[in-house]
């Protein structure tokens, strides 16, 4: 059975959605990142980058959410509509777009808006702009199609969904009024039983919810260099 190392944040939720959609049995192992459990030596053996998610499939460790999606989709021949070279290229392109664009820019936008000390106007402006720019690309893409790739629900939709759930938190409470095609798309996914099960996983475990000084130390270890 797959061991799934989980925290209820955007990247692990992508994998949770796939596992629930594909009905693959798994053992969920909570990793409380605000308590620093991602830095435990035993977990670092599975993911040397010390981040969630990760899986252990027998004796095979896989880390990085999009890598896990690709690994599982290929192994189980599920949610991977790559029948043509065009489909394969689209899947790779959009997964990398999420990995190198959506995730990092949304993450940095939230970091500088909510956690970084002053002064931060330049950083807030840059990362908020880039987060909006990336989501507007998705918005334009979904304006003419139901799903991200090949007119079929796929791991690309799951990868985007992990972060799209957080759009109001990242971009502001009125963001959905400016992204109607993404809102239409995410409402369809959110109505799926697998998405509801994935979202409900966090209720089964007690994850730390406060971001106190100890949590900041674990989440942002670079702060130690500045004495923060």
> For 131-189, what is each residue's pLDDT tens digit?
999 999 999 999 999 999 999 999 999 999 999 999 999 999 999 999 999 999 999 99
The average pLDDT across 183-201 equals 98
Burial of residue 227, with CB atoms counted within 10 A of its CB: 0-12 exposed, 13-18 middle, 19 or more buried:
exposed
- Would the CATH topology of 2-78+198-226 be identical to that of 85-191? no
Query: Does residue 228 register a pLDDT over 90?
Result: no
CATH number (1.10.620.20, 3.20.20.140, 1.10.260.40, 3.40.30.10) of 2-78+198-226 reads 3.40.30.10
12-54 pLDDT tens trace: 999 999 999 999 999 999 999 999 999 999 999 999 999 999 9
CATH number (3.30.450.40, 3.40.50.300, 1.20.1050.10, 1.10.357.10) of 85-191 reads 1.20.1050.10
| Domains of the chain, residue spans | 2-78+198-226, 85-191
Put simply, whether the predicted model's pTM sits higher than 0.85 gets the answer yes
Q: Count Cβ atoms below 10 Å from residue 129 Cβ, excluding itself.
A: 12
pLDDT band at residue 63 under the 50/70/90 scheme: very high
Distance CA 156, CA 78 (A): 12
Query: Does residue 95 register a pLDDT over 90?
Result: yes
Percent of the chain with pLDDT over 70: 100
Query: Does residue 83 register a pLDDT over 90?
Result: no
The three-class DSSP label of residue 144 is coil
**pLDDT number for residue 226:** 83
Distance CA 168, CA 147 (A): 21
């Amino acid at each position: 059975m797959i061991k799934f190392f989980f925290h209820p944040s955007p990247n692990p939720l992508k994998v949770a959605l796939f596992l629930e959609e594909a009905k693959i049995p798994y053992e969920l192992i909570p990793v409380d990142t605000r308590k620093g459990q991602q830095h435990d030596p035993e977990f670092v053996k599975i993911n040397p980058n010390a981040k969630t998610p990760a899986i252990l499939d027998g004796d095979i460790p896989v880390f990085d959410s999009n890598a896990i999606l690709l690994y599982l989709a290929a192994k189980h021949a599920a949610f991977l509509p790559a029948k043509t070279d065009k489909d394969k290229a689209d899947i790779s392109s959009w997964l990398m777009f999420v990995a190198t664009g959506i995730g990092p820019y949304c993450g940095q936008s939230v970091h500088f808006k909510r956690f970084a000390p002053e002064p931060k106007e330049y950083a807030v402006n840059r990362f908020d702009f880039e987060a909006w720019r990336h989501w507007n690309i998705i918005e334009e893409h979904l304006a003419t199609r139901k799903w991200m790739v090949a007119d079929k629900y796929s791991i690309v939709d799951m990868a985007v969904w992990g972060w799209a759930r957080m759009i109001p938190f990242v971009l502001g409470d009125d963001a959905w009024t400016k992204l109607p095609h993404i809102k239409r798309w995410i409402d369809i996914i959110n109505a799926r039983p697998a998405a509801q099960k994935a979202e409900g996983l966090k209720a089964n475990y007690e994850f730390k919810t406060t971001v106190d000084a100890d949590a900041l130390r674990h989440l942002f270890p670079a702060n130690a260099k500045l004495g923060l």
